[in-house]
Amino acid sequence: MPIVNENNVELEKVSSNSVVIIHPGSLYLRIGRASDVTPFKYVHGLARVNLLSETTKRRDQILPNFPYKNSDTLAAMEDSRLQASHMLQSSLQSNGDRRYATPPQQIAAYNRNSVPKYKDNVPRTHTNKSSAVDNVYGEEIFNLAPELDYNIFFPILNGELNINSQIGGSLTAVLADLEAIWTHCINKLLNIKTSEFHNYKVILIIPDIFNRVHVREMMSMILLSMKFKACLLIQDHVAATYGAGLGYACVVDVGHRKTSVSCVEDGISQINTRIRLRYGGGNITQTFHWLLKKCSFPYHECNPMTNYYDALLLNQLKQDFCHLNLDRCGAVQKTVTVMKPTKRQVQYTIQVGDEAMIAVLGMFNPMLLGITDNNHYVIQETSKSLPEDPYDEEFLRETSRRGTGREMETETQIENSIVHTTEEEICVDQIETAGNYFDIETGRPQSLDKVIVQSIERLTSDEIKRKMYSSILVVGGGLKFDGACAWLKSKISLNAQQVYYGGHIEIISSPKDLDPQIVTWKGAAILAGLESSNELWISGKEWSSWSIRILKERAMFNW
């Protein structure tokens, strides 16, 4: 095991200007210096020239797949839509009056009669062969001409590395994509040359449910390949509590392709409470598109699975229209502008009714998102042993078992001791795996409100549970809708009553008036300025010598 030297370079005072904070996501990367007020937001993807022309091109999409061809799933979604519609119609406004809704047939008739208006603007041009380069980054990948032979990659998916069987889907290839994107952003946005990386330190924000192999490889990439001076790891939920200025919270991070929940107390994410759902804001966008088509959306050519501009348009429409405010009744009329390279701008005037609410209700009824099973539900599994770390969790568990058995054996009661030892081992297994078990309704998808209650109820102390219910922190951009937090609080209250909790419940969505999307990044920036973080830095030399073993000494979480 490494010995922590109190005179190491890590203990030198760190300047916020020399710390780069990286918060990777499925769609966007947030990156900046710790001294920056807000981070840069950059599309977290890149396009590479296809060197194997005979192979099929790969084009990762920015929205999740939608079950358009699965009749059973669509029928279940339709049933859920009707239930949600009837529930909204029977709800009351805050003043006690019953809500009123514009009939769907009336909205559909208006949208069918919407006449497209063409603008006489000069259309944008595609990136063509003359200006093409080997690698294209950020929003420029959306502007590539369809005939150009590029593969488009998004290296993060559902909160983890996007490893798959397609071209460029290996761990090595995904890490190469990450390194290329991060290097480009640091060069272009932060004006730091690659040759100067050795003067800077990096805080990398990792998921609360992490893969040890992936973390090891990203650390090696930052310290050995990119050659940064030092690196520090922090889990996203812990960083969120720092950013919000909270000592404890049940953190709910609703992202583009995943939603994660865990309880954090005193800078530690409780492992038994960690849950990840493989759905998020992107699924709401797809459901909203499905609902728009049901009310005769006039832009018939819209296809978010083949055209990036259509996906971005739907994402913007979701942000403009969607809400969960019961006081907003009737149809809303807005102008939709379609902008694509090489084509004139087209404007449509459309109306949207309760579809704007039903789409968001998919977070509380995943059947509306086309999710019909438990396959989207992820918890922290037992860590796999790695050859670089012989004294890992598995080794400590096995050796402690043998020690317990030897102490209990006596010369006078050999048979009883053997039986007792066997029972002891069974009890240990049950205790160790209990933290990985959640009461899941068999075969049914889990809604966000139920998952939050499940996470909190995994805590052992009633006092800690009470604290978590009174401090539920919602971060990320996936649930950034008017009235969503009030709706979430109401649903959590109903579920909490089933576990006999009737105390105070508080939802925190914009701590210190911060945008929920940057709270986590801001928390990492605060960490960079804390004197106590000086002894947590890991230098490239230390990583070369000790690899993942040093994380037992320096990581802010249980490695």
Quick one: pLDDT at residue 358? 97
Quick one: pLDDT at residue 389? 75
Quick one: pLDDT at residue 42? 97
Q: Are residues 57 and 148 in the same domain?
A: yes
Query: For 83-229, where are the E strands, in sequence order?
Result: 117-118, 135-137, 150-153, 156-157, 160-161, 201-206
Quick one: pLDDT at residue 131? 64
Q: Are residues 145 and 23 in the same domain?
A: yes
**Does 457 map to a domain?**
no
Quick one: pLDDT at residue 124? 72
Q: Which is higher by pLDDT, 1 or 15? A: 15
Quick one: pLDDT at residue 528? 95
**Does 5 map to a domain?**
no
Q: Are residues 58 and 148 in the same domain?
A: yes
Average pLDDT score over residue span 59-82? 92
Average pLDDT score over residue span 321-347? 92
**Does 258 map to a domain?**
no
Mean of the per-residue pLDDT values of the chain: 87
Q: Are residues 87 and 108 in the same domain?
A: yes
Q: Which is higher by pLDDT, 55 or 222? A: 222
pLDDT at 7 over 80: no
Instruction: Answer for the pair 153, 162: CB distance below 8 angstroms, yes or no.
Output: yes
Q: Is the dihedral of CA 442, 443, 447, 451 positive or negative?
A: positive
Quick one: pLDDT at residue 422? 36
Give per-residue burial for 192-221: e unless 16+ CB within 10 Å, then b.
beeeebeebbbbbbbbbbbbbebbbbbbbb
Q: Are residues 227 and 90 in the same domain?
A: no
Q: What's the total number of domains in the chain?
A: 2
pLDDT at 412 over 50: no
Q: Are residues 197 and 116 in the same domain?
A: no
Distance from C-alpha of 86 to C-alpha of 488, rounded to nearest angstrom: 19
Distance from C-alpha of 553 to C-alpha of 534, rounded to nearest angstrom: 13
Least confident stretch, 80-89, 144-153, 176-185, 288-297: 144-153
Quick one: pLDDT at residue 215? 95
Which tens digit of pLDDT belongs to each residue from 460-512? 999 999 999 999 999 999 999 999 999 999 999 999 988 888 889 999 999 98
pLDDT at 77 over 50: yes
pLDDT at 148 over 70: yes
pLDDT at 516 over 80: yes
Q: Are residues 308 and 168 in the same domain?
A: no
Quick one: pLDDT at residue 375? 80
Q: Which is higher by pLDDT, 118 or 5? A: 118
Q: Which pLDDT band holds residue 274 (cuts at 50, 70, 90)?
A: very high
Quick one: pLDDT at residue 425? 34
Quick one: pLDDT at residue 443? 57
Q: Are residues 365 and 321 in the same domain?
A: yes
Quick one: pLDDT at residue 428? 33
Domain boundary among 317, 344, 369: 369
Quick one: pLDDT at residue 529? 92
Quick one: pLDDT at residue 559? 82
**Does 287 map to a domain?**
yes
pLDDT at 158 over 80: yes
What is the CATH number for 80? 3.90.640.10
pLDDT at 405 over 90: no
Helix (H, G, I), strand (E, B) or coil at 155: coil
Domain boundary among 347, 369, 391: 369
**Does 394 map to a domain?**
no
**Does 392 map to a domain?**
no
Range of the domain at 329: 71-124+281-369
Q: Are residues 157 and 20 in the same domain?
A: yes
Q: Are residues 76 and 29 in the same domain?
A: no
Q: Which pLDDT band holds residue 340 (cuts at 50, 70, 90)?
A: confident
Quick one: pLDDT at residue 431? 31
**% of the chain at pLDDT higher than 90:** 70
**Does 374 map to a domain?**
no
Quick one: pLDDT at residue 8? 47
Helix (H, G, I), strand (E, B) or coil at 504: coil
pLDDT at 404 over 50: yes
Q: Are residues 105 and 44 in the same domain?
A: no
Q: Are residues 20 and 81 in the same domain?
A: no
Quick one: pLDDT at residue 212? 92
**Does 483 map to a domain?**
no
What are the distances in angstroms from CA 256 to CA 237, 260, 288? 16, 11, 14
Domain boundary among 340, 369, 398: 369
Q: Which is higher by pLDDT, 433 or 146? A: 146
Instruction: Answer for the pair 340, 113: CB distance below 8 angstroms, yes or no.
Output: no
What is the CATH number for 179? 3.30.420.40
Which tens digit of pLDDT belongs to each residue from 197-255? 999 999 999 999 999 999 999 999 999 999 999 999 999 999 999 999 999 999 999 99
Distance from C-alpha of 350 to C-alpha of 369, rounded to nearest angstrom: 23
pLDDT at 326 over 60: yes
